[in-house]
Structure 1
């Protein structure tokens, strides 16, 4: 039996993972990169009344900062009155959150306060207040965001409501982070961008698997039909991604990517805080459908494999291949992946208004090997922080 040519096997494996990477970019990620943004919003678009729900705990300072963005949405009835309610769910706050909202409600009839005085035993995170908010919502369509988020424009609600077309029960939006100086901010925003590249592209391809609570809408009937968060109420995170993973299918999800429909929130200020947030968010991945885990895992494995195997191939090239053939195929594959990635990532950043990240994408792409190696195993740890995300 002839000896195994290990360098040749490594080279073949490299070619395979490179092809897998190119496939993901051309089949999935191009859908976001070449997404056609149609501006069809008019002041008369009022088809679906909305309940905008925001859960708040000791968030008076955030409400004072962002309340006017939510209250001044240009989403009105024919008589000019707001065609939405803003429902603030005060979950056991010890500050003046309730008093502040109550004072404003006299001037803004579409502002409503739901005050909760007790924690729910066995229901972690903000799933209990959000469930109560959805149950108390006045309208059949709910639009969710967080207390620290601001919509990009007064047309946010109008654009997001456009997603509720026939058979579409879920609307996915983009929740961006505010731009600030420093590398931590760039890392956090690239991470949010790349996460959005995956979940939005997969949804556009007919494989929705998650959404982000910073910018998400769905029908109340869908929430009740799937019994809310009952199947994962013991998990601190997952009020957004786990519910969407449970309730979404290829027919009932739409994506809205108009820049006026984005939301923006401040990024974490320290590496330790961001690290803790990432561990909490990744802790839900093990509860995704197996098919979603497989698609995400295959991409992560091929991403890491591309760089590791390329390094091994360059150190230990196959001995029995003509040098010209080896270098032509190897460099050709590297260049092919790079040019496809270059076009799709830059165009995707343009769609999501993250243009300032363009000069750094190759650096971040290489660094993502370390990201996958460190963070993916953490997704399988059972103990996670119960702090709100």
Structure 2
């Protein structure tokens, strides 16, 4: 039995190395990007529901962007706080702000996709740049950096949405590492010509891509997924590229309690169930191989069976993974979380298992 486990362990190590070197290395070792400014008309779209504290601070940062031709489409999704009042003030203050007021619709009540659809239709520009109400750009060149990746063929641009650092918080390191690993995955697969997701905190596409797939209609009943499910449906090797220069990043406020983060992750993982079959397969293989790598190594080392071989393979896998993640973290300015990699990986593996079991028996809560 132990010899069979050893052979299976060797296979799992090979799978992990394939993912890290063969797949994720496409992004980790890619050349740095340069910004070539373009004068593409851009509509920046922000959808908010009960976000008064965030929008009052972050929308002015969008208005200060150094870009020659852009508008800001603010969508108030039937907020019951002062979000709409603040938006109305911005509409009067900034000439390039367009306000969309969404009333509760019986058929689409509480559905962010319905609100976004109205905002997209109201946008006057052909190229759309999305971020969330609790996000802000890292520089005044954010629109310039993201739009610089558009070409005649590349009409979907996947960006990186960072989370703010919180000093002396291990949870913050977990959240930021998980965000880093997710970005490594979707950036790498996009570079290989198989884009499967993006994040609404930082995503751009031409309006025609939205209408080519009839908007969100195929997954309108799924409350989440206005970003990743849309990309999963509309993106392909011909029309999709990535933006990872520092000027293209956005920042968001991270969750500060483990409970709130778990709720957020439950939504994300539940949405992944609607991905295309291959995308679910490759994600499943990666996460299962992570788990099996740890479990099989523990079993073999506990019995001290061929422990030199096992320990050598264990170290080789960690060196390769750590190297790939380290180079990727350098590109995305997240180097500080890499030092905690082994501990964070263990937490994430068993968190995934917990969420999978929980989601099996109850549905997560979605848009506010």
**Normalising by structure 1, what TM-score?**
0.90
Deviations 1:320-368 (A, max 9, x none): xxxxxx4453333222212211211111111111111122011112333
Match of residue 214 from structure 2 = 227
Between the aligned partners of 1:170 and 1:379, the Cα distance in structure 2 is 31
Match of residue 244 from structure 1 = 231
TM-aligned CA distance change 1:299 to 1:132, over 3 Å: same
TM-aligned CA distance change 1:378 to 1:252, over 3 Å: farther
Offset of residue 381 of structure 1: 5.5
Kindly name which structure, 1 or 2, has the bigger radius of gyration based on alpha carbons.
Answer: 1
Match of residue 80 from structure 1 = none
Match of residue 109 from structure 1 = 95
Between the aligned partners of 1:217 and 1:120, the Cα distance in structure 2 is 29
Asked if 1:143 is matched to 2:129, the reply is yes
Match of residue 47 from structure 2 = 55
Asked if 1:134 is matched to 2:120, the reply is yes
Offset of residue 228 of structure 1: 0.9
Return the match for 1:10 from 5, 10, 18: 5
Between the aligned partners of 2:358 and 2:303, the Cα distance in structure 1 is 32
**Aligned residue runs from structure 1 range 300-319, under 5 A:** 300-316=287-303
TM-aligned CA distance change 1:270 to 1:125, over 3 Å: farther
Contact 1:186–1:357 under 8 Å retained in 2: yes
Between the aligned partners of 1:143 and 1:250, the Cα distance in structure 2 is 20
TM-aligned CA distance change 1:117 to 1:373, over 3 Å: closer
Q: Mind listing any 5+ residue stretches in structure 2 that lack a counterpart?
A: none
Match of residue 167 from structure 1 = 153
**Secondary structure of residue in 2 paired with 1:164:** coil
Return the match for 1:209 from 182, 187, 196: 196
* Number of equivalenced pairs: 367
Between the aligned partners of 1:316 and 1:136, the Cα distance in structure 2 is 65
Between the aligned partners of 2:60 and 2:213, the Cα distance in structure 1 is 33
TM-aligned CA distance change 1:353 to 1:120, over 3 Å: farther
Match of residue 166 from structure 2 = 180
Asked if 1:73 is matched to 2:84, the reply is no
Offset of residue 90 of structure 1: 1.0
**Secondary structure of residue in 2 paired with 1:121:** coil
Between the aligned partners of 2:245 and 2:107, the Cα distance in structure 1 is 40
Offset of residue 382 of structure 1: 6.4
Contact 2:43–2:124 under 8 Å retained in 1: yes
Contact 2:197–2:227 under 8 Å retained in 1: yes
Return the match for 2:31 from 13, 32, 36: 36
**Secondary structure of residue in 2 paired with 1:383:** coil
Match of residue 340 from structure 2 = 360
**Aligned residue runs from structure 1 range 256-267, under 5 A:** 256-267=243-254
Between the aligned partners of 2:299 and 2:343, the Cα distance in structure 1 is 20
Q: Mind listing any 5+ residue stretches in structure 1 that lack a counterpart?
A: 1-5, 77-82, 319-325
Match of residue 262 from structure 2 = 275
Deviations 1:119-151 (A, max 9, x none): 352465311110111111101111000011000
Contact 1:31–1:204 under 8 Å retained in 2: yes
Contact 2:163–2:252 under 8 Å retained in 1: yes
Offset of residue 316 of structure 1: 3.4
Match of residue 189 from structure 1 = 176
Contact 1:7–1:317 under 8 Å retained in 2: no
Match of residue 3 from structure 1 = none
